[in-house]
């Protein structure tokens, strides 16, 4: 059941992604195949990061539903996205190692906290129950 103030966390897009993508694009110190494979890894990780963020956002929307089954599905999906996101952190660490862009543990594990509050709607001329 959704409580009056339920707190969830989800990963924040990493600030160093832009720098890593730039280094990947330039491919410094790599032969042609290495550049292509590293670029593919970067594009895949970036796409999965965006997909995870979108699905997490939609899951929060599902949690606004009046239907308990829908809210429960949203909560389960958020938990799954957190697991997938942890795997993506490993992808970005590897990209950092391949490109020489050092990433601190603090940057990788940064999360934003979202607090959801259920809105109580009072019918006109009635009282909220």
Question: How distant is the alpha carbon of residue 121 from its chain centre?
Answer: 31
Copy the structure tokens of residue 109.
């594990």
Structural domain spans, the chain: 5-117
Sequence-ordered list of residues with C-beta below 8 angstroms from that of 8, at least 6 positions apart, any chain = 60, 78, 113, 114, 116
The more confidently predicted of residues 21 and 3 is: 21
> How many angstroms separate the CA atoms of 116 and 30, rounded?
47
Give the model's pLDDT for residue 39: 81
pTM to 2 decimals?
Answer: 0.54
Q: Does 73 or 1 have the greater pLDDT score?
A: 73
* pLDDT tens by residue, 90-123: 888 887 887 777 655 545 444 444 555 555 556 6
Contact by Cβ (8 Å): 99, 38: yes
pLDDT at position 5 over 80: no
């Amino acid at each position: 059941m959704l409580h009056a103030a339920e707190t969830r966390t989800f990963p924040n897009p990493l600030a160093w992604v832009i720098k890593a993508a730039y280094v990947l694009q330039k491919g410094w110190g790599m032969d042609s195949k290495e550049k292509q494979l590293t670029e593919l890894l970067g594009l895949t990780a970036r796409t999965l990061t965006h997909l995870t963020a979108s699905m997490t956002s939609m899951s929060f929307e599902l949690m606004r539903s009046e239907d308990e089954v829908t809210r429960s599905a949203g909560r389960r999906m958020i938990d799954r996205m957190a697991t997938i996101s942890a795997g993506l952190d490993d992808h970005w660490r590897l990209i950092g190692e391949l490109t020489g862009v050092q990433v601190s543990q603090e940057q990788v594990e940064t999360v934003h906290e979202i607090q959801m509050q259920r809105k109580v709607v009072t019918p006109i001329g009635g009282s909220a129950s």
